[in-house]
Amino acid sequence: KGSREFRGKLVGYDIHMNLVLEEAEELNNGEPVRSLGHVVVRGDNVVLISPTMR
């Protein structure tokens, strides 16, 4: 449906895979579009979780 991507530090989750991210930002083609700060992502919207390269 909507192909939004977000990046941030995972600080919490629950059994429904709801995610709590801090320092979150919305991405467009891998580039930051806007800073969101502290967010909760509803688990049924999560398709993929991936670690970042260091």
For residue range 28-54, list pLDDT tens digits in order: 988 999 999 999 999 998 988 999 776
Q: Where are the domains positioned within the chain?
A: 5-45
- The hierarchical CATH code for the domain 5-45 is 2.30.30.100
pLDDT at residue 1, rounded to an integer:
52
Q: What percent of the chain has pLDDT over 90?
A: 65
Question: Is residue 7 a contact partner of residue 27, using CB atoms and an 8 Å limit?
Answer: yes
Question: Is residue 4 a contact partner of residue 21, using CB atoms and an 8 Å limit?
Answer: no
For residue range 14-27, list pLDDT tens digits in order: 999 999 999 999 99
pLDDT at residue 32, rounded to an integer:
92
